[in-house]
Amino acid sequence: MTTQEASKGGYLRPGPIESFIANGLKTQDYYFDLPLYHTDASKKETIVVFARRVVAADKQADADKLPWLIYFQGGPGFGSPAYTTGWVKNAAKKFNVLLLDQRGTGLSTAMTVQVLSQFKTPQEQAEYFMQFRADSIVRDSELIRETLLANSTEKKWSLLGQSYGGFCITTYLSLFPESITAAYITGGIPPVVDSLETVYRKSYKSVMDHSEQYYKRFPMDIKRVKKIMNYLATNQVKMPSGGTLTPRKFQQLGQRFGLSGGMDAVHQLCLGAFITIQGKEVLSSGFLHDVDAAQDLIPPIYAILHEAIYCDGPNVASNWTASQLLNGEFKNVFEYSVKEYEPLEDDSNKIVYFTGEHMYDWMLDDYAYLQPLKECADILAKHTNWSKLYHPEVLAKNTVPVAAAVYYSDMFVDRECSENTAKLIPGIKLWITNEYKHSGLRDDSGVLTKLMKMVSNEVDVPTF
């Protein structure tokens, strides 16, 4: 597509389109000026949304004849992966792959504390955050589709979503099913049927199981983790990025357990936690930098909107559900996260459970870069007038071919909740597997290949 052709759509930012060829792939970078508010025509503010088109270099002459595949990233709050990612390279042989930096991520208009400081009040910040959920992302995508496919014979495109990207796809199926050729979901069928309390209750039980698996693999880490926790309980440990490393903040490293290689990474951290200086053991600067790198990359959207992505429609508030459950029925299990930590003896048989993908109210204190957003986060936690994300009556009439990989012991997206939602979508094909963790798409490009074969009926799998 030439600059002149692309500019006809109206939303594409005028000017030359940057393009390069590397690693056997040709890319084209697009910047779109899109409405911040899609459902309120009286508000004229716009944001920039970035997307990168990728096609195999030896297919570029025929690129305009190839179908399109748009990718929705996990999160919320993370930009698209590198164009050299394994599944991208494979898909670019058959598709124009569009790597979307969903609004607020990557090269799109940033959602950072720096940007949010322009608003005068926490309420204004909260109202801005409300425009960055799946329904807005999908409406962005529709305007982009209308722009990029304006001169194409085929006006539909296919969707691929990883984790939260699958939530976006389910919203797309609810709002614009007529725009979709096929949909592929990896570890990301949302809990349309189940409540937020049910989701987090299952999530806590899953991270408990994963914690026990961790200690079974690395039994000597039972003492190492307690030693680290004891040190953090009796010393104020400043992080390189600011803020304090508390016991409960250290426990959040358990989020890595749900990804390929995550347990090994945490084990490596624990192995090198301490150094001896003048006869005294202290936590090493390398350990603190590594913990910082693992945790302070959490985007504000991820931290602030994480529970809100489950709020489907009015009269639903998140109310810091993960914190409520932690202080309630799971208090005795994760006791070191809910009260002043009491050091344990090294020979105690009691293990320290890690926590997982849970965003807590206390994070707005423990994470230095999130502190300016504390009032905003509380407003969003109490908010009840959310837009609808899913429409079961539309999903019940689905005719779009949909294939989904459901990971049996997924720590992030519960299998049973996924199956409950799948029952609402006629014709969806599920591949339930224990071969992969949540990061299956990233770990093996064959995951997408199998899903595509499921849609084309080359692989026989159950249909819901």
Span 71-93, pLDDT tens digits: 999 999 999 999 999 999 999 99
CA–CA gap between residue 338 and residue 341 (Å, rounded):
8
Q: Which residue has the higher pLDDT, 443 or 5?
A: 443
CA–CA gap between residue 436 and residue 458 (Å, rounded):
21
pLDDT, tens digit, 9 for 90 and up, residues 182-192 = 999 999 999 99
Q: Hey, what are 364's tokens?
A: 């707005």
pLDDT of residue 462: 62
* Overall average pLDDT of the 285-293 stretch: 93
* Overall average pLDDT of the 249-260 stretch: 94
pLDDT of residue 133: 98
Is the per-residue pLDDT at 291 higher than 80? yes
Q: What percentage of the chain's residues is helix, strand, coil (to nearest 5)? A: 40, 15, 40
Which one-letter amino acid corresponds to residue 162? Q
pLDDT, tens digit, 9 for 90 and up, residues 194-250 = 999 999 999 999 999 999 999 999 999 999 999 999 999 999 999 898 888 999 999
Sign of CA dihedral 42, 47, 48, 49: negative
CA–CA gap between residue 400 and residue 402 (Å, rounded):
6
Q: Model confidence at 332, in pLDDT bands (50, 70, 90)?
A: confident
* Overall average pLDDT of the 6-35 stretch: 87
pLDDT, tens digit, 9 for 90 and up, residues 126-177 = 999 999 999 999 999 999 999 999 999 999 999 999 999 999 999 999 999 9
Bridge partners of residue 192, in order along the sequence: none
* Overall average pLDDT of the 55-70 stretch: 94
Distance from the first to the final alpha carbon of the chain: 39
Is the per-residue pLDDT at 342 higher than 80? no
Is the per-residue pLDDT at 297 higher than 70? no
Name 336's Cβ contacts closer than 8 Å, sequence gap at least 6: 229, 247, 248, 251, 352
Whether residue 105 contacts residue 123, with contact meaning beta carbons closer than 8 Å, is answered with no
Instruction: Return mean pLDDT, the chain.
Output: 92
pLDDT of residue 7: 40
CA–CA gap between residue 19 and residue 6 (Å, rounded):
14
pLDDT of residue 333: 86
Percent of the residues in the chain that have a pLDDT greater than 70, as a whole number: 94
